[in-house]
Amino acid sequence: MAHRVTGVLIFFFLFVHVLDTALVRVSPEAYDNVVATYKTPIVALLEYGLVAAILFHALNGLRVIAVDFWSNGPRHQKTMLWAVVGVWVVLMAGALYPVLGHAAREVFGG
């Protein structure tokens, strides 16, 4: 279920991204205003959520491929799921500062 939800969220992001990028041809000033909102701490949290969705979707996709194409995959799918979650948590911890560092400095100073 989480794989499908993250897929839909990623699709929604890509749709919005194409629309806001196309805005530069219609009105460069409006595009600049939209990009300025992307530099806010709230959007930084949403960006961290996007990183979370993409990482989980990619890692779980590899697990799904292993379940489908490895003869022992179905037998080990629960173990592989926990491995995906573990790797995901480690990578998300590593992404915390690069993605949210600027927002934290803006909110708390520094």
Encode pLDDT of 32-53 as tens digits: 988 888 888 999 999 999 999 9
Per-residue confidence band for 103, with pLDDT thresholds at 50, 70 and 90: confident
Q: In this structure, what token pair is assigned to residue 69?
A: 């194409």
Which position has the token pair 């080990």? 76
Which one, of 57, 58, 16, 55, lies nearest residue 37 by Cα? 16
CA 6 to chain centre: 8
pLDDT value of residue 63:
95
CA 52 to chain centre: 4
| In contact, 64 and 70? CB cutoff 8 Å | no
Which residues have C-beta within 8 Å of that of residue 74, sequence separation ≥ 6? 67
Residue 17 annotated in ligand binding: no
Note the pTM of the prediction, 2 decimals. 0.84
110 has pLDDT over 70: no
Residue with the larger pLDDT of the pair 60 and 21: 60
| In contact, 44 and 103? CB cutoff 8 Å | yes
